[in-house]
Structure 1
Amino acid sequence: MTVGPRRVPGDLLVHLRRARDHADRHYTEPLDLATLAAVAGLSKFHFQRLFTATYGLSPAAHLSRRRVERAQDLLRATNLSITEVCHAVGFTSLGSFSSRFRELVGETPSEFQRRWAANGAPRIPGCFVFMWGLAERRDRATEEKPGPADTS
C-alpha cells in the first residue's frame, strides 16, 4: 500500500513553505537539512518528515531538482561548459551533477546541451551570466543586512 502526501496543519505549512522558498531562492548556496530546518523553525528530523510528507520529495531531492531545472536553463541559453553550469547551480561534484541530471532529465548534460545547440539560437556569453549572478548576490546581501535604522 502506498501512502501519498498527507495534510499538514496550516500553521506548519507556512513554515514548510518558508523553507522551500528559501531553498528555491538560495539554491546556488550550500544548503543542508539543518539550515532549512532552522529557516522553518523546526527540528531537522521533524522538518524532514513533514517536508517529505507534504511535498512528496525530501528537502535534498527538492533542492537538487531545483538545481537541475536551473542547469537546464543555463545549458539551453548560454555558452557555459558543463563544469561551469554544475558549479553555477550549486553542485560541488561534476559526477553527482551528471548523475542527478540524467536521472531527472533522461539524458546527460552534454547530450542535452548538444541537442539544444543544434537549433542555432544565439547563446548568452558566460561572462554576462556570471556578472549578473554576482550583481544579484551583492544586491541580495545588501537587502538582507539591516541598515542603521533597523538595528536596536
Structure 2
Amino acid sequence: MTGRPDEAQRLHDLARLRRVRDRIDREYAQPLDVEALARGAHMSAGHLSREFRRAYGESPYSYLMTRRIERAMALLRRGDLSVTEVCFAVGSSSLGTFSARFSELVGMSPSAYRAENAPATAETPSCITRQVRRPVRNREAPARAPHLA
C-alpha cells in the first residue's frame, strides 16, 4: 500500500516541474535563478535541481541557458542588434558568460554566428525570409503547375 502515496507524490512533483519548465520558457529574459524557481514551486533549491535533472536530463540553469541561447540565435540572425544588445535582450547579465555559453552550445562565438548567418538575409525582405526559413511539415511537396491536357 505504500506504492500509491509515493506515486501520487511523484505525479504532483512532475506537475510542479512542468510549471517550472513552462515558467522558464515564458520568462527566459527575466532574472531567474534556481532559488526563485524553487520558491515558486514550493520546493527547496536542491530538491528542485535533483528532480528537474531526473525528469528532463539537465539542470534548471542549463535548461534556462539553452532557451536563452536559442532566442539569441534568432535575434542574431535578424542582424539588427549587436551581440551586447542580444545578450541583455535574452536576460544574460554578463557578456562573457553569455559568449562562453553560446560558443559551448553552438560551436562558434556569437559574433561569428551573426556574421555567418545575418548577411544571408540582410537584404532580403522579411516576407521572403519567413517563407524560405519556414519549416517543412509532413514532407510537403512543392505545388505543381496544373496539368492541361
Normalised-by-shorter TM-score class: 0.7 to 0.9
In the alignment, does 2:34 pair up with 1:33?
Answer: yes
- CA deviations on 1:55-114 (whole Å, 9 max, x unpaired) are 111111111111000000100124100000000001111110100000000011011101
The one-letter amino acid of 2:37's match is: L
RMSD: 2.0
> Matched residue of 2:51: which SS?
helix
Gaps spanning 5+ residues in structure 2: where? 1-6, 126-149
> Could you tell me which residue of structure 2 aligns to residue 108 of structure 1?
109
The 5 A counterparts of 1:13-28 are 13-28=14-29
* CA shift in 2, pair 1:122/1:26, >3 Å: farther
> Could you tell me which residue of structure 1 aligns to residue 97 of structure 2?
96
> Could you tell me which residue of structure 2 aligns to residue 85 of structure 1?
86
Runs of 4+ with deviation above 2 angstroms: 120-124
Report if aligned partners of 2:53, 2:60 keep a CA contact under 8 Å in 1.
yes
Number of corresponding residues: 118
Q: For 1:34 and 1:60, how far apart are their aligned partners in 2?
A: 11
> Matched residue of 2:91: which SS?
coil
The one-letter amino acid of 1:105's match is: V
Distance apart, 1:122 and its partner CA: 4.3
Distance apart, 1:45 and its partner CA: 1.2
The 5 A counterparts of 1:141-152 are none
* CA shift in 2, pair 1:85/1:123, >3 Å: farther
Q: For 1:19 and 1:88, how far apart are their aligned partners in 2?
A: 21
In the alignment, does 2:68 pair up with 1:59?
Answer: no
Larger radius of gyration: 2
* CA shift in 2, pair 1:85/1:52, >3 Å: same
* CA shift in 2, pair 1:20/1:120, >3 Å: closer
> Could you tell me which residue of structure 2 aligns to residue 46 of structure 1?
47
